[in-house]
Amino acid sequence: MSTPTTEPRQSWTFSKETNSEIRRAAATGIYDIRGGGAKRRVPHFDDLLFLGASISRYPLEGYREKCDTSVTLGTRFAKKPIELKIPITIAGMSFGSLSGRAKEALGRGATMAGTSTTTGDGGMTEEERGHSEKLVYQYLPSRYGMNPDDLRRADAIEVVVGQGAKPGGGGMLLGQKITERVAGMRDLPQGIDQRSACRHPDWTGPDDLEIKILELREITNWEKPIYIKVGGARPYYDTALAAKAGADVIVLDGMQGGTAATQDVFIEHVGQPTLACIRPAVQALQDLGLHREVQLVVSGGIRTGADVAKALALGADAVSIGTAALVALGDNDPKWEEEYQKLGTTAGAYDDWHEGRDPAGITTQDPELMKRLDPEAAGRRLRNYLNVLTLECQTLARACGKSHVHNLEPEDLCALTMEAAAMAQVPLAGTNWWPGKPGF
Amino acid sequence: MPTIDMSKTELREVNATLQSAAGTQATEAYVLENPRGSHAVAVGLNGPLDVTVKGSTGYYCAGMNKDATIHVEGSAGPGVAENMMSGTVVIDGDASQYAGATGHGGLLVIKGNASSRCGISMKGIDIVVHGSIGHMSAFMAQKGNLVVLGDAGDALGDSLYEARLFVRGSVKSLGADCVEKEMRPEHLEILADLLARAGADAKPEEFKRYGSARTLYNFNIDNADAY
């Protein structure tokens, strides 16, 4: 009779995944670089629930009564604010990181759904301008491709201070994606790594930024809404300072927000979850008397109409999607599983966007791979997805008795966990309390 | 010659007037009086207009200039001629930080000294400084020429790409990946042309040329000590 043995036990601390990273680091001597946002589990919108209407609230009829979704961005100073049919915009993603066809698809889908898309680093492409009825032109530290003509062709200008995947970090587009066209737009030689700086070259703080915004407004006749995009680091102060600097719109990107490429350690260990960023940002605007006058756009991990509705209920004016939009176009589609396997990954986990070998033909500059994406069909998929997000958001808003999605409020929510209750400042389910609530 | 008194005219009206004149290819030369250190003066001009500013300016004078000729009879604050596309900007006095930052083209002449980060991230602009420049100048400079008749501060040309740097005086230190390079005949020719256009009294042979060693062009972990 053999002696009983215990099952081999894997360490939680030194998990298989952790050990594989140690072995990879030991073999290569370099940190892991990847695309996307934080993959770790963090408190998120899933940890919130809508209460819905009952005796104390009455709902709107789901298929008959109107629930408005329109939003106007840039009402503070700009002569020509942007009017959108839906409160969901497409986040900035660079040409260079994405193919021209992918940018075209984003423009097509966004336009059909009645919303805007955003350029990204590397300048404005004809594919995107031509197919985007409303296009936000990012003003980034690198200033690749920046010129006054495109500035005037834009519908809004987004001064990018940071992004959720890497607050305080710049970017690097590796040489394998630097084709002749990408290199030409960025005024750099073909095939070399192109560094996108982590801070702007000609201003350093909020007082300088205020003057920079003055300059941009003077160049564009005060017509264009000026957005300021910040990563979710210190949302109260960053929001207050952006408003003080003169922003019309503040884009706040939590740590689940994606990037084309940066160090995994940066993505996973810097910044705050999107859920934790919204209330402090809204509070900052309320303290300044600017909530709704300066619009707040929240991004980072928005996937469903429920996420949209919850972000709005917490005080956002709109949300922005990046990763979800790429998935709608066809990114990480299981139909390419065989090719993902060849790259040592699997559908859903593919994140080496910087290497330019995307089987779905989206995050690549390879001419053959790019052909795999039909921009018209992909644009239709994005439109469909945006429509579903909107319908879902309306469904929830009507259930809460709201005739406009902006009428959703924190009072419509409860939280499933203590962490989410603390971050969202809504009651833990079954209680009237959240951690940090005044009076308790 | 139309004259605008900036002590009596709002900045928006000043720039709108100049932008409109530049856009219609006006041949008149404009004079701005009493700039009093105002920010964003004569920005976004989009045509061959001559503008003279009688005094010193604040931040971002001549920003994103395209084809216009702007002459500041004084000193300029931070970011003068930032992101200039073409045309000419001349500063009679000194220039503060980030002069010519990210400029894509045109000629920026600074007859005095320029502070730190002169020509940062320049993308094709030509900059001629009659005096000296401060630290971290030409940081990540991509294209174009930076000519300095005086001295250069610390970390000149750090993380330089393909811009050419010409310095007549001393260089306190070179930044990562910036090295002295051979001055070939074609460089002397470029330099002679720039010196002439900038009204600079100097001989090309008196300068040294600096450029990128190109060792940091593609990320290599073995270069980590360079940062």
Specify the CATH number of the domain A33-424: 3.20.20.70
Task: Give the model's pLDDT for residue B220.
Answer: 76
Touching check for A291 and chain B: CB below 8 Å?
no
pLDDT tens digits along A263-281: 999 999 999 999 999 999 9
Task: Give the model's pLDDT for residue A193.
Answer: 83
ipTM value > 0.85? yes
pLDDT tens digits along B92-146: 999 999 999 999 999 999 999 999 999 999 999 999 999 999 999 999 999 999 9
CA dihedral sign of residues B119, B125, B126, B129:
negative
User: Which residue type is seen at A267?
Assistant: I
Q: How far apart are the first and last CA of chain A?
A: 62
Q: A63 Cβ partners below 8 Å, 6+ apart?
A: none
Q: Which of A188, A215, A218 lies nearest to residue B12, judging by beta carbons?
A: A218
CA B174 vs CA A429, B8, B179, B211: distances in Å: 61, 47, 7, 10
Cβ contact, residue pair B140, A193, below 8 Å: no
CA distance linking residue A146 with residue A187, whole number of Å: 11
Q: Which residues pair with A319 in a beta bridge?
A: A88, A298
Task: Tell me the HSE value of A258 on the side-chain side, using a 13 A CA sphere.
Answer: 27
Q: Does domain B3-217 have CATH number 3.40.50.2000?
A: no
pLDDT tens digits along A332-363: 999 999 999 999 999 999 999 989 899 999 99
Angle at A260 (CA atoms; ends A97, A157), nearest 5 degrees: 75
* Phi, psi at A109, each rounded to 5°: -65, -45
Predicted TM-score (pTM) of this structure: 0.96
Residue among A353, A368, A360 nearest A329 (CA): A360
List chain B domain ranges.
Answer: 3-217
Burial A311-336 (b: 16+ CB within 10 A, else e): bbbbbbbbbbbbbbbbbbbbbbbeeb
In angstroms, what separates the C-alpha of A139 from chain B's closest C-alpha? 12
Confidence of residue A327 (pLDDT cuts 50, 70, 90): very high
CA distance linking residue A141 with residue A160, whole number of Å: 7
In angstroms, what separates the C-alpha of A172 from chain B's closest C-alpha? 9
Task: Give the model's pLDDT for residue A190.
Answer: 86
C-beta separation of A131 from A108 below 8 A: yes
CB atoms within 10 A of CB A63: 6
Q: A344 Cβ partners below 8 Å, 6+ apart?
A: none
Both tokens of residue B113?
A: 């000294």
Confidence of residue A408 (pLDDT cuts 50, 70, 90): very high
Cβ contact, residue pair B124, A197, below 8 Å: no
Q: Tokens 């941009």: give the residue.
A: A216
Residue B227 pLDDT > 70, yes or no? Answer: no
pLDDT tens digits along B176-187: 999 999 999 999
Q: Tokens 């073409």: give the residue.
A: B86
C-beta separation of B164 from B149 below 8 A: no
Strand order of the sheet with strand B107-110? B3-5, B29-33, B50-54, B69-72, B88-91, B107-110, B123-129, B143-148, B164-167, B208-212, B178-181
Touching check for B82 and chain A: CB below 8 Å?
yes
Average pLDDT over every residue of B201-222: 90
Task: Give the model's pLDDT for residue B226.
Answer: 66
Average pLDDT over every residue of B25-46: 93
Residue A304 pLDDT > 80, yes or no? Answer: yes
Residues of A in contact with B78 (CB under 8 A): 202-203, 208
Q: Which of residues 40-69 of B touch A (CB under 8 A)?
A: 40, 43-44, 46, 58-60, 63-64, 66
CA distance linking residue B205 with residue B219, whole number of Å: 35
